Structure formats: C-alpha cells, structure tokens
Chains A and B, each alone.
Chain A
Amino acid sequence: MKPKILFLPMLLLGCACSSYYYAPNTLQTPHLVERHDAEFSVGGLRGPESSGFEAHISYAFSRRLALMVNHMELRGGNASQERWGKGRLTEGGLGVYFPMDDNTSNTVFLGWGSGYAFHQFPKESKAKLEFHRYFGQYGICVERGAMRLGTGVRLNYLQYRKGWIDYRLGEPDISKIELIEERSPLIFPELSVNLGIGSRPVWVNAFATIMEYDSAEELGLATHTFGLSLTFQVDHFWRAERASKIK
C-alpha cells in the first residue's frame, strides 16, 4: 500500500508586468491504498510571471480515512524591483480513499486553507489580500511499473476576507481588486494532471494545473501552474524497518 499525496492550494502573486491575486495550486492525487500509507512531496512550480515551491503531506490514518496538509509559496519579481509580489497558502484536508487494487487509488478530500497575496507597486504602494479557500476534490492515481499517472478535479470556494490596498497602486490593479471584492466568494473548478516516473519509494513528477473561471483575466487570477516535484512514499521506510525487525 502506498500513500501518495495530495494537492496544494495556492495563492499568488506578482511580477514585473501583470499582478495575480490567485493561482491554481498543484492538485496532486495521493495514491492511498491501505492504513499508514504516507507520502511527502516537495517541488517547484511556475505560474504566470511567478515561481515558488510546494510541500505536501498525506497520511492514511485509518482503513478509509486520510489527512493531508499542503503548503505553497510563490514569488514574482524581487524586492529590488519596483514591482514584485508574493503569495502563500497553507491548508489541510480530511478525506476518504478507495483503492481499486494495489495500483489504483481513488480519493475524495474536503479541506480548508488560508493564505494571502501581496504585491508591491511603484511608489511603494502595496496591496495585500487575505483569503480562505474551501475545496472538495476527487482524484485518481494509477501506478504501473515505472510510471504513475494521477489526475483530479477540484471545486474551490475562494473567499477573500481582508484586504489592505494602497490606492496609489493605480490601474489596472485597482479595478481588479475592486472586482474581486465585489464578486468574492468565487466558485470555480480546477483540473490537474500529474505524470510521474520512478519506483517506490521515490517518484519524480511533472504536473500541471488549470483553473476555469470566465473572468479570470479581469480579476487577475492566474489560470495555470506547472512544475516538477519529488514524491517520497515514506511508509516504505518504516515498513521496511518493521519487516527487518520481524525477521
């Protein structure tokens, strides 16, 4: 049995030209088959004009239930530039897993997280938006030999809560932020594909996540992220240790 991971939420950030106030985090589909399956992933990802890293943990704490925790940070530009931004999201989820066989696992998670998007603009004007994100997701992960394929869909309920906005940041960002305030909470789906190669207990994954929201550009929401990650099926290590002790 193996665990696998999860997904990540995210937030967003900015850059030299356009500023984004949300970006889809990687939706990784954990491969959970039996109790105590556990997985840890870490990787880098890129969004429009931003890049960062993610870390994920998932753990099957019972025969059907699992927990997950995700963290992501993104940054665009750098502090020496007039325009730069950063974003962070930390979230957790509780879910169920349904293995179809030793190689295929279905998962459903419900979760909640919080984060922020911060941008600095010329004249040192700043904007910081804090948000909560609630989500439900379904994923399937299949392992065959040295390949692993995961795909999933997530429904997000993105609720911007607090914001501190210096009006001097000007257009077009003021309009984007006012529109976010007007339309929040936003509900939209995301789809993710994750292709891995390797063998237990380590996988190298390439992933891409896209979000679907009609007014994404108008609101400054990035519609995609992609990246690479390393997944460690950590249950493998303690199971190997236990097996050696039994022998």
Chain B
Amino acid sequence: MKKILRLGLPFFAALLLLAACKQKADFEYYYYEPEDYALLSQYLNLPSKPDNYLTKLPKHLEAQGLFARAVDQDKAILGRVLFYDKNLSKDGKVNCASCHRQEIAFSDDKPVSRGVFDRVGTRNSIALGSVLNFAAYYGTDLFGPSGIPFFWDNRAGTASQQNLATMANPLEMDMGHNDIVNAVRTQPYYAPLFRMAYGDETVTVQRVSESIANFINAIGSFRSKFDREAERTIGNDTWSNRERLDFAGFTAAENRGKRIYLDNCASCHSPVQGRPMKMYANNGLDATTTDQGVGGITKNPFEMGMFKVPLLRNIALTAPYMHDGRFATLEEVIDHYSTGIKAHPNLSMELRSGNQPRRFNFTAQQKSDLIAFLHTLTDEELLKDKRFSNPFK
C-alpha cells in the first residue's frame, strides 16, 4: 500500500499536470452569416467581428454619477451605416456626417449648415464630439425624456426625436417618413443589418431613428489630455475640489488657463466637462434677438434669446462658434466674454455685474492661457476612432 501511495499518487498527479499542460482557449466567434457578410462587403467596410460599443468612462467622471449605458451593438452598427448613408436625403448628397464630420469632432466648419440642394440652414451644427457621451446624459432615449434635450433650442427630448426632425427638416435632409423607409428598403445592404438588429427585415421609421440614436449614443469624448490628467489627479475624489490642483502633465500655461476657466467659465460649462451646469442661457450675444432659441419653442418671455449651454470638449476643433456660428476663432469667443457681452433682458446672472453686462477684461496672457487649456480638451482618439467612421466603400 505504501508503495502505491509513494508511486501511484505522484504518477497520477503527473498525469493530471501533463493533461492540463498550458493550452490556450480556442473560442470561435461568429456574427454575420457568410452570405450576408459577402453581400455587406460589396458596399461596406464592416469588420467580420463587430465593433465593441461599450463605453467605460474615466473615474473622475463616473465619480460625478455619470456613466454610459451600453447601447445595443447591432442597432449601433446599423445606425452607423444609416448615419453615413446619403440615400437618406432628398438629393442623395447629404448624410448626417455632412454636418457632423468626424475629423472635426463631428461638427461642421460652416457657420450654419447646408442641407439638400445646398439649402442654407439657420444654425450652427452642434458638435457631437462636444459631449462626454450621449448615453451619459444627452442620451435620453435610454433615460426617457427627462434628460438634457437636443438642438440649440432643446426642442427634442431624445436622440430619436432629434434625428427624425433633422431628416425631415427641408433645409437639411428633407425626407418624410415614407421617403426614409423607401430609401432604406431599396438598399440591399440593409436587409442583413435589420435582421441582425431586429430579427427581421422590416423597415420602419422608428427602427431607423432608434438605430441612429444608438449609434449617436455610442459616440463620446473622454480621452483628451484633460481627461487623462483629471483621472490621475481627481480620481474618485469629488469632494475636495481637486480639479483646482495643478495637473502634473499640464504645461504652466495650461494650468493657468485651467484656473481661469474654473474661475470664470465652469459655473455654466462644468468644471470637469461632465454635465453642463446650466441647460440653457443667454450669453449676451445681442441686445435684441431675432432667433429666440428656447423661448421660441416655449413662448416663455423669460426664455427668449436663450440657447443650449454646450460642453466644451473638442472646442478647439469645432469652429465657428455660437448657435449662429458668428465667431470664427476661440480668440473671438473670448473677446466676446472679455468685453463684448451685450445687455439683454434674459442675460445670464453669471454674465451680469449689477444691472450691466459683466466685463471679464482678460489680459492677452490670460486669453492665451485659456486657449492653451481649451486645447487640452481635444480628444484625438475620437477623431480617428474607426467605430465611428464612414463604413461605405
């Protein structure tokens, strides 16, 4: 028996070890049916293994209670194709990306956007890359209509409402619901994508808008130099105003600019670019306003001339600025706040000094420092993120 114990067990153990000998897992992943992928590949550059649209926000943002809900991957993939499909416009020349160009943080470089047949719009295109992540707060399809709404005048409660309104706008894509459905139905590459997203090939305008909304909700900017430094310096500490500490990775000018920003701008635009502190405001662009913004929708006299307060992520890329694109450069924007604020009945309290418009009177050095800081909000990764790029060949 002892012999058995002495020889048998070690032998058994050796056998087990041999059998267990490091062998890597061999997993097979599948997504598209081969014939579907062959069809899609005729028109689209979609990876055989689909993109991951899971978003993990940095700690300093999660600590603020912001988090990105996972979007539906299949719908986001379909939404990406729809976002870039020019067939969804009356003249076949405009897509969502025409006014939301990835290389400039999904903004437009024109003061006001141009739509089908070169029709001129009325407002500047809001940069999708200006926000942390639509699903974190703007993404109200996921949270219901209680989140921060869309458009400069906040007239759309969800990303679906927003994209449907845009497609229907005669100055943008000029597509009625039936036009949208017909345009999608006639493209062969949508059948497999709808099956993946919805289980069948039925095209409805609701499905189209929901898919685009899922794609939009997946877009987010949170990998800027500012975010890297904020995550390192602030981390989970939301109580100690650690954003006021100098960031080790910032230059002296960037840190000075950050202090100027926190002292003068953050009360509206958010200290850490997480959630805007105000949903809308009048920032004294004009003493009298023709475009009434939020007030034009609500008819509330105390909201006339007020517009959405955007986050400033990627602000260095998204010129021109303001709802009407009147400022071509950041210098012009800062000059406005420095000495150009006009008296308006609904002028934001932060921009008032008594009954008069406030004069920040930034020095040249301060302006330069502030601009240096604003450049740290650029998220280079977003600009070249293939998941959000044009999939068409």
Residue numbers in A under 8 Å from B188 (CB-CB): none
Nearest to A157 among chain B residues (CB) is B20
Nearest to B31 among chain A residues (CB) is A167
Tell me if A81 is interfacial: C-beta within 8 Å of chain B.
no
Q: Given A62-B1, A110-B13, A166-B31, verify A171-B25 contact (CB < 8 Å).
A: no
A167 to B73, CA, bound (A): 9
Q: How far is the CB of A83 from chain B (nearest CB, A)?
A: 14
Interface bits A93-105 vs B (CB < 8 Å: 1, else 0): 0101000000000
Does the CB pair A168–B196 fall under 8 Å? yes
Does the CB pair B72–A162 fall under 8 Å? no
Binds A, one of B45-53, B95-103, B222-230, B250-258: B45-53
Does the CB pair A132–B25 fall under 8 Å? no
Residue numbers in A under 8 Å from B239 (CB-CB): none
**Most-contacted residue by chain A among B17, B25, B54 (CB, 10 A):** B25
Does the CB pair A171–B19 fall under 8 Å? no
Does the CB pair A175–B54 fall under 8 Å? yes
Q: Given A96-B5, A175-B54, verify A163-B27 contact (CB < 8 Å).
A: yes
Interface bits B6-50 vs A (CB < 8 Å: 1, else 0): 001100110011011011111111110000000000000000011
Number of interface residues of B (CB under 8 A): 32
Residue numbers in B under 8 Å from A136 (CB-CB): 13
Nearest to A163 among chain B residues (CB) is B27
Interface bits A119-142 vs B (CB < 8 Å: 1, else 0): 000010000010010101000000
Interface positions of A from 27 to 82, Cβ below 8 Å from B:
62-65
Q: How far is the CB of A240 from chain B (nearest CB, A)?
A: 27
**Most-contacted residue by chain A among B12, B20, B22 (CB, 10 A):** B20
5 smallest CB-CB distances across A and B, nearest first, come from A163-B27, A167-B31, A171-B54, A160-B25, A184-B25
From B9, B24, B70, contact of A110 by CB (8 A):
B9
Interface, chain B (partner A; CB < 8 A): 1, 4-5, 8-9, 12-13, 16-17, 19-20, 22-31, 49-50, 52-54, 70, 72-74, 196, 199
Interface bits A148-191 vs B (CB < 8 Å: 1, else 0): 00000000010111111111101110110100110011000000
Nearest to A178 among chain B residues (CB) is B27
Q: How far is the CB of A22 from chain B (nearest CB, A)?
A: 13
Nearest to B10 among chain A residues (CB) is A110
Does the CB pair A185–B30 fall under 8 Å? no
Does the CB pair A123–B13 fall under 8 Å? no
From A62, A111, A165, A184, contact of B29 by CB (8 A):
A165
Q: How far is the CB of B1 from chain A (nearest CB, A)?
A: 6
Contacts A123-B74, A134-B20, A168-B73 known; 15 new A-B pairs at CB < 8 A: A62-B4, A110-B13, A134-B17, A161-B26, A163-B26, A164-B28, A164-B30, A165-B29, A167-B31, A168-B50, A170-B74, A171-B54, A177-B27, A184-B25, A185-B20
Tell me if A213 is interfacial: C-beta within 8 Å of chain B.
no
Q: Given A167-B29, A167-B50, verify A112-B24 contact (CB < 8 Å).
A: no
A171 to B13, CA, bound (A): 39
From B5, B16, B23, B30, contact of A165 by CB (8 A):
B30
Does the CB pair A162–B74 fall under 8 Å? no
Residue numbers in A under 8 Å from B22 (CB-CB): 185
A184 to B74, CA, bound (A): 28
Nearest to A184 among chain B residues (CB) is B25
Nearest to A111 among chain B residues (CB) is B16
Does the CB pair B20–A181 fall under 8 Å? no
Residue numbers in B under 8 Å from A161 (CB-CB): 23, 25-26
A177 to B137, CA, bound (A): 29
Q: How far is the CB of B78 from chain A (nearest CB, A)?
A: 12
Q: Given A64-B1, A168-B196, verify A184-B24 contact (CB < 8 Å).
A: yes
- 21 intermolecular pairs with C-beta atoms under 8 Å apart: A62-B4, A64-B4, A65-B4, A65-B5, A94-B12, A110-B13, A112-B16, A136-B13, A159-B25, A160-B25, A160-B27, A162-B25, A162-B28, A166-B30, A166-B31, A167-B31, A167-B50, A171-B70, A174-B54, A180-B25, A184-B25
